[in-house]
Amino acid sequence: MSRKHKCQICGREIDDAVGLAHVKAEEYLIELIRRDHPEWNKDMGTCDLCLEYYRELIKRTEI
């Protein structure tokens, strides 16, 4: 049974299994999230919708 917690960015409930583990290598993405949400802690997880928002932001602005 997986634990549940809230996404620190949008407040949606997520499973630990879909947390931020798949993004750890994306340091720039992490920097952008921290810029907008300084209280954010990567160990607490982030939902896929918020991660996709930041990925799209990077794609659209080519930053």
Is the model more confident about 41 or about 19?
41
Q: Where are the domains of the chain?
A: 4-61
Would you place residue 23 in the very low, low, confident or very high pLDDT band (cuts 50, 70, 90)? very low
Task: Record the pTM.
Answer: 0.59
Express each pLDDT in 28-63 by its tens digit.
888 889 999 999 988 888 898 998 998 888 888 765
- For the segment 9-35, the average pLDDT, to the nearest whole number, is 73
Q: Report the b/e string of 13-50 with b at 16+ CB within 10 A.
A: ebeeeebbeebeebeebbebbeeeeeebeeeebbbeeb
Would you place residue 1 in the very low, low, confident or very high pLDDT band (cuts 50, 70, 90)? low
